[in-house]
């Protein structure tokens, strides 16, 4: 469970006498009341609410952990490959503070031991740059509660901490499946391309030795962006995998429906969409066909591609009404903002930047057509917190299909989470929100992220109790529902 993660017996090797004689390094401490209100009476309420949820299983309905880690159960290679190089929260801030991505092993996979140690050293040398960030909070939790580290990272302590974590990773108790069980994860959703054969998911589902649920999520973005240079080839591949000619728009629709059905057969409960905006303007059938065939021929403008994608999003909503896949929208990101970095290191390397997005009018065509459909669950996320109270909460406060997605990516920080609760709750209440979303590739940060959410929700609810706006028994029920009820209901788990 998330409250019982302290590591044991993963001690670093004995240090040389010259090191032993040096003054002790600062302690890496985790206060039991972290993130709780400072006022003693409210803090005491928050403690009681947190005690009701701290040990509940983790439900993670949206994330990016590679399912092959669990299917293969191969030991993690080294501390840097596990905790630094795949985590763009970590690498982007190091890069901003003068550490080239090349020195962090980004995009390279497992590193030789000496390079991994150097990468780890760069993190420890720059530990102060993470002060006040949620990344620092999660890293501290990983180090202390999973690996038993008690010394604050620094240039001086880097090697000893590296040795301690490496010693842990050599043990069976630190293999992916053992950690999955130790973290108390009940359900973990991945993010998967529609053409994926889902072999790793099939192996996990058929393995009697694995008791968790690892579900695929349908992520079709690349097949909706008709102005992308690779789109025609991608759609051709989609047709091959689906066994469907995609030379027409109707063929594309049937291919998507077949692949969604395949994902559902393998346990999927949601489809995940991320584009620049959430426009959903429908096209006349002949216009959709014209734009589609033009895009296949490489003759489509940016505006034409955008119009076709907005029509396709409407089509995906119709499919969700038919097959029941939850539809999540998390728009408003300029992917690969720095072209040279994208060319050198690929996507998801820390330079995706938020955009402003309008929801009310953009989603109106979709919601007028499907917003009251009993089979549609539409979860709306944002990177612009100004829209929580102005657009998302009012939408969720009327349409039975709409839920406000929890803060994620740039907003998954303590103060932002509390602002979200205040902004969304007054209009939409608690039941119209999604439950926590960790949205991470950093496997070992999952329990820390969920624990942070539980502490913050306990803090927010404690204030309502202290102000006599809720009774404590009601607040306890809400806290439990946000952890165990909302994710299951919203994501149909």
- Given 174, 204, 224, the domain boundary residue is 174
List the structure tokens of 148. Answer: 């038993």
**Same domain for 170 and 196?**
no
List the structure tokens of 70. Answer: 């669990």
**Same domain for 234 and 362?**
yes
List the structure tokens of 223. Answer: 């097949």
The set of residues, in sequence order, having a beta carbon less than 8 Å from that of 290 and lying 6+ positions away, is none
User: Stretch 106-129: mean pLDDT, rounded?
Assistant: 93
User: Stretch 429-445: mean pLDDT, rounded?
Assistant: 95
**Same domain for 161 and 194?**
no
**Same domain for 359 and 215?**
yes
Q: Is 187 helix (H, G, I), strand (E, B) or coil?
A: strand
Task: Decide if 82 contacts 65 (C-beta within 8 A).
Answer: no
What pLDDT, in 10s, does the model give residues 311-364? 999 999 999 999 999 999 999 888 889 989 888 888 888 898 989 999 999 999
Q: What pLDDT was estimated at residue 5?
A: 57
* Confidence bin at 22 (pLDDT 50/70/90): very low
**Same domain for 247 and 122?**
no
Say whether pLDDT at 3 is over 50: no
- Given 118, 144, 174, the domain boundary residue is 174
Say whether pLDDT at 17 is over 90: no
What pLDDT, in 10s, does the model give residues 171-226? 999 999 999 999 999 999 999 999 999 999 999 999 999 989 999 999 999 999 99
* Domain annotation covers residue 239: yes
The CA distance from 132 to 416, in Å, is 13
Question: Cα dihedral angle (401, 410, 180, 198), rounded to 10 degrees?
Answer: 60
Closest-CA residue to 95 (of 79, 119, 77): 119
**Same domain for 277 and 128?**
no
Considering the chain, what is the average pLDDT of its residues?
94
**Same domain for 347 and 461?**
yes
Residues in the chain: 493
Question: Which CATH number does the domain housing residue 107 bear?
Answer: 1.10.2020.10
Q: What pLDDT was estimated at residue 16?
A: 40
Task: Decide if 147 contacts 160 (C-beta within 8 A).
Answer: no
**Same domain for 123 and 219?**
no
Q: How many CB atoms lie within 10 A of CB 95?
A: 20
* Domain annotation covers residue 456: yes
Q: Which residues does residue 430 pair with via DSSP β-bridges, in sequence order?
A: none
Q: 371-399: b or e for each residue (b if 16 or more CB lie within 10 Å)?
A: bebeebbbbbbbbbbebbbebbbbbbeeb
**Same domain for 234 and 346?**
yes
* Domain annotation covers residue 455: yes
Q: What pLDDT was estimated at residue 9?
A: 55
**Same domain for 232 and 336?**
yes
* Domain annotation covers residue 24: no
The set of residues, in sequence order, having a beta carbon less than 8 Å from that of 36 and lying 6+ positions away, is 42, 43, 46, 47, 50, 455, 458, 459, 462
The CA distance from 488 to 185, in Å, is 13
Q: Is 194 helix (H, G, I), strand (E, B) or coil?
A: coil
Q: Helical H runs in 153-276?
A: 158-169, 176-182, 199-206, 231-242, 249-265
* Number of domains observed in the structure of the chain: 2
Counting beta carbons within 10 angstroms of the beta carbon of residue 321, is it exposed (0 to 12), middle (13 to 18) or buried (19 or more)?
middle
* Confidence bin at 249 (pLDDT 50/70/90): very high
The CA distance from 193 to 180, in Å, is 23
* Domain annotation covers residue 141: yes
Q: Could you write out the DSSP letters of every residue in 322-346?
A: HH--EEEE---EETT-SHHHHHHH-
**Same domain for 200 and 348?**
yes
List the structure tokens of 236. Answer: 């051709």
* Domain annotation covers residue 38: no
* Confidence bin at 11 (pLDDT 50/70/90): low
* Domain annotation covers residue 44: no
Q: What pLDDT was estimated at residue 452?
A: 97
Give the range of the structural domain holding residue 139, as residue numbers without chain letter: 75-174
**Same domain for 138 and 219?**
no
- Given 123, 148, 174, the domain boundary residue is 174
Question: Which CATH number does the domain housing residue 197 bear?
Answer: 3.20.20.140
Q: Is 361 helix (H, G, I), strand (E, B) or coil?
A: coil
* Domain annotation covers residue 249: yes
User: Stretch 422-442: mean pLDDT, rounded?
Assistant: 95
Q: What pLDDT was estimated at residue 347?
A: 86
Q: What pLDDT was estimated at residue 218?
A: 98
């Amino acid at each position: 469970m998330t409250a019982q993660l302290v590591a044991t017996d993963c001690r670093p090797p004995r240090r040389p006498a010259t090191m032993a004689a040096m003054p002790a390094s600062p302690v890496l401490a985790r206060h039991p009341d972290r993130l709780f209100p400072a006022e003693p009476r409210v803090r005491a309420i928050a403690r009681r609410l947190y005690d009701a949820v701290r040990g509940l299983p983790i439900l993670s309905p949206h994330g990016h952990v590679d399912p092959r880690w669990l299917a293969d159960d191969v030991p993690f290679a080294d501390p840097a490959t596990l905790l630094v190089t795949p985590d763009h929260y970590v690498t982007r801030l190091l890069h901003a503070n003068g550490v080239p991505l090349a020195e962090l092993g980004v995009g390279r996979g497992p590193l030789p031991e000496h390079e991994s140690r150097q990468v780890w050293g760069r993190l420890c040398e720059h530990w102060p740059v993470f002060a006040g960030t949620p990344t620092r909070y999660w890293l501290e939790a990983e180090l202390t509660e999973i690996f038993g580290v008690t010394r604050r990272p620094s240039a001086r302590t880097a090697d000893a901490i590296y040795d301690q974590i490496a010693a842990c990773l050599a043990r069976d108790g630190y293999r992916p499946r053992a950690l999955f069980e130790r973290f108390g994860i009940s359900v973990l959703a991945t993010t998967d391309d529609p053409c994926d054969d889902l072999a790793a998911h099939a192996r996990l589902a058929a393995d009697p030795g694995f008791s968790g649920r690892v579900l695929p999520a349908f992520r079709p973005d690349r097949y909706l962006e008709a102005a992308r240079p690779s789109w025609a080839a991608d759609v051709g591949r989609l047709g091959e995998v689906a066994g469907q000619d995609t030379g027409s728009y109707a063929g594309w629709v049937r291919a998507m429906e077949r692949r969604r059905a395949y994902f559902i057969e393998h346990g999927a409960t949601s489809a995940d969409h991320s584009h620049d905006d959430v426009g959903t303007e429908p096209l006349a059938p002949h216009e959709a066909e014209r734009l589609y065939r033009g895009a296949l021929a490489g003759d489509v403008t940016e505006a034409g591609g955008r119009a076709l994608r907005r029509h396709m999003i409407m089509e995906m909503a119709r499919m969700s009404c038919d097959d029941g896949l939850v539809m999540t929208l998390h728009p408003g990101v300029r992917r690969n903002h720095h072209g040279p970095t994208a060319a050198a290191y690929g996507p998801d390397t820390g330079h995706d930047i938020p955009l402003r997005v309008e929801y009310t009018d953009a989603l109106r065509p979709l919601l007028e057509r499907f917003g009251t459909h009993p089979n549609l669950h539409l979860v709306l996320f944002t990177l612009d917190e100004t829209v929580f109270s102005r657009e998302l909460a009012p939408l969720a406060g009327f349409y039975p299909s709409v839920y406000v997605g929890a803060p994620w990516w740039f907003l998954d920080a303590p103060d932002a989470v509390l602002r979200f609760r205040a902004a969304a709750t007054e209009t939409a209440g608690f039941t119209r929100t999604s439950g926590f979303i960790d949205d991470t590739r950093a496997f070992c940060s999952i329990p820390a992220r969920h624990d942070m959410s539980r502490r913050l929700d306990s803090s927010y609810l404690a204030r309502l109790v202290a102000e006599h706006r809720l009774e404590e028994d009601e607040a306890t029920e809400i806290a439990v529902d946000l952890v165990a009820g909302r994710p299951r209901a919203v994501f149909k788990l």
